[in-house]
């Protein structure tokens, strides 16, 4: 409903709206990246809520940018910092990470920079702004540990069915940035973005 009210305000003021959505509007039942025009079909409450927000924006406005992002890292609370914290506290036993949940790790700085290139241009619609490439949670965690100087910490792969959580994530939710690329808006590979974030945040191993 919050999105609905913001869209109503934009309608009243006759201004475009930016709505940040998610990869979790897709069910994850295919093995190719999801394009902007693929039909969404969320399998959890979070994805349904974000899709409802998308629908409110499309119903109420003609000028909007719906931008889907995924697996954001940056700031103080994110997967990267969690993996490093766990490496410090449970290193003797190793970590367990899901190996069959595949997504698009994305540096929030890069997503924001892409968004700044987009807004102000009259090319309204749906966009996927994610760093290039894809990874499992297991792959992502191993990259974090390597850059953070925790190569000695073992990572044990598990499956989604082994990991109990309150929500049901889509097993494969890689996003394809086709609309942005057509406009010249591209994001670097997630590995480069991860290294840049960890260096900027002081989390990378010092040479």
CA angle 156–69–110, rounded 5-degree value: 90
The answer to whether the beta carbons of residues 147 and 207 sit under 8 Å apart is no
The answer to whether the beta carbons of residues 108 and 74 sit under 8 Å apart is yes
Closest CA to 117 of 174, 179, 191: 179
**Is residue 138 among the annotated active site residues?**
no
Phi and psi at residue 64, to the nearest 5°? -155, 155
Ordered per-residue pLDDT tens for the chain, 207 residues:
999 999 999 999 999 999 999 999 999 999 999 999 999 999 999 999 999 999 999 999 999 999 999 999 998 899 999 999 999 887 677 899 999 999 999 999 999 999 999 998 999 999 999 999 999 999 999 999 999 999 889 999 999 888 877 888 999 999 999 999 999 999 999 999 999 999 999 999 865
CATH class (in words) of the domain with range 2-200:
alpha beta
Provide the pairing of β-strand 125-128 with 64-69. Answer: parallel
Cα gap 51→43, rounded to integer Å? 11
Task: Please pick, among 46, 109, 124, 163, the residue that the annotation labels catalytic.
Answer: 46
The pLDDT, as a whole number, for residue 91 is 63
The structural domains of the chain, with segments of one domain joined by +, span: 2-200
Q: How far is CA 1 from CA 8, 51, 81, 103, 123, in A?
A: 11, 12, 32, 28, 26
DSSP the chain: -HHHHHHHHHHHHT--EEEEEEGGGS---SSSPBPTTSPP---SHHHHHHHHHHHHHHHH-SSEEEEEE-SEE-SSSSHHHHHHHHHHHHGGG-EEEESS-EE--EEHHHHHHHHHHHTTSS--EEEE---BS-EEHHHHHHHHHHHHT-TTS-EEEE-GGGS--SS---SB--B--HHHHHTT----BHHHHHHHHHHHTT-SPP-
Query: What are the structure tokens assigned to 153, written together?
Result: 């910490």
């Amino acid at each position: 409903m919050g999105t609905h009210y913001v869209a109503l305000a934009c309608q009243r003021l006759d201004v475009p709206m930016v709505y940040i959505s998610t990869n979790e509007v897709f069910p994850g039942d295919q093995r190719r990246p999801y394009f902007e025009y693929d039909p969404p079909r969320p399998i959890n409450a979070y994805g349904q809520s974000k899709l409802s927000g998308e629908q409110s924006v499309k119903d109420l406005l003609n000028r909007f940018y719906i931008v889907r992002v995924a697996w954001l890292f940056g700031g103080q609370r994110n997967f990267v910092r969690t993996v490093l914290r766990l490496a410090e506290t449970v290193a003797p036993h190793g970590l367990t990470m899901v190996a069959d949940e595949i997504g698009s790790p994305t540096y929030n700085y890069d997503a924001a920079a892409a968004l700044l290139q987009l807004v102000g241009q009259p090319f309204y619609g749906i966009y996927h702004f994610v760093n290039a490439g894809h990874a499992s949670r297991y792959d992502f965690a191993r990259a974090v540990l390597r850059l953070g100087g925790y190569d000695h910490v073992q990572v044990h792969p598990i499956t989604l069915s082994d990991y109990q959580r309150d929500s049901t994530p889509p097993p494969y939710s890689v996003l394809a940035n086709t609309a942005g690329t057509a406009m010249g808006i591209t994001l670097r590979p997630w590995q480069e973005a991860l290294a840049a974030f960890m260096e900027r945040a002081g989390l990378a191993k010092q040479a």
